Amino acid sequence: MNDIYEKIVELKKIRMPAALVTVIDARGSTPRGTGAKMLVYGNGKQFGTIGGSAVEAKVISTARACIQSGEVKRVKHNLNDPAKEDTGMICGGTMEFFIEPIQTAPHIYIFGGGHCGHPLAQLAGKAGFQYTLIEDRPEFAGHERFPDASDIMIGELEQLAESLDLTDHDYVAIVTRNHELDFKTLKNILKKPAKYIGLIGSKSKRTQIFSRLKKEGFSAAELERIHTPIGLNINAETPEEIAISILAEMISVKNG
């Protein structure tokens, strides 16, 4: 595959963070001309090139920052820079770049397909989220119940949580049917990157679970990642209201 647009489609399918870099102006002696494109991945690797050398390294660094922030940027670099104030190059030209993060739908991993997980899944798509439903009870995890799920995983929740390959762009809602399942699931999720980790329960449950996690060796900084009681405080009572509060909190995190 050598078409950059096909590569973008592939990246969106697998939800890999990336940014598209386009040369929008090239003056003088430059390694690539206007219109040259390159994809930069979150890990710094690339597909294509905008000329190599020091200028490419600088643009890759900026593109990775754009992936993290979601910000679109225009940047200009001097390739006639013997004083080494910018690129240190002596090609004799200038290049300007347009850097845009590749937008993918945020993804929620919902642990528990019961009375809160089900309405949360129903609302997710309407708010622009994709979701994966994770359950240990097949009767609560069918495609009839969750027709819009990107994936449905059935098995022991603790093991499934451990097996997930999460990124720092993913969202996790732990809304299982009992405290022990919540704890075991949360313990493994905390070992992974995620943009949002939410745990259903009361303030007293929070105190008990945090105490157990500390005994397991988790730091205060790791515990601060957990949103619990889950959702914005809107005095929600019904499962549907709780689902709305959860999604509202996720949207708040997504939008900074």
- Cα–Cα distances (Å) from 50 to 39, 67, 74, 79, 168, in that order, read 10, 18, 15, 13, 27
Q: What is the pLDDT along the chain (256 residues), one digit of tens a residue?
A: 468 999 999 888 787 889 999 999 998 888 889 999 999 998 889 999 988 888 899 999 999 999 888 899 999 998 877 778 667 666 778 889 999 999 888 899 999 999 999 999 999 989 989 999 999 999 999 899 999 999 999 999 999 999 998 988 899 999 999 899 999 999 999 999 999 999 998 889 999 999 999 999 999 999 999 999 999 999 999 999 999 999 999 999 998 8
Contact at 8 Å (CB) between 61 and 46?
no
> Could you identify the residue written with the tokens 């704890």?
183
In angstroms, rounded to a whole number, what is the distance separating the alpha carbons of residues 133 and 165?
Answer: 15
Domains and CATH numbers, the chain: 4-101 (no CATH), 107-254 (3.40.50.720)
Q: Report CA-CA distances (Å) from 223 to 176, 217, 219, 227, 237.
A: 19, 11, 6, 9, 26
Element housing 229 (H / E): none
Helices (H) and strands (E) in the chain, counts: 8, 11
CB atoms within 10 A of CB 213: 18
pLDDT tens-place string over residues 133-161: 999 999 999 899 999 999 999 999 999 99
Q: Which residues pair with 138 in a beta bridge?
A: none
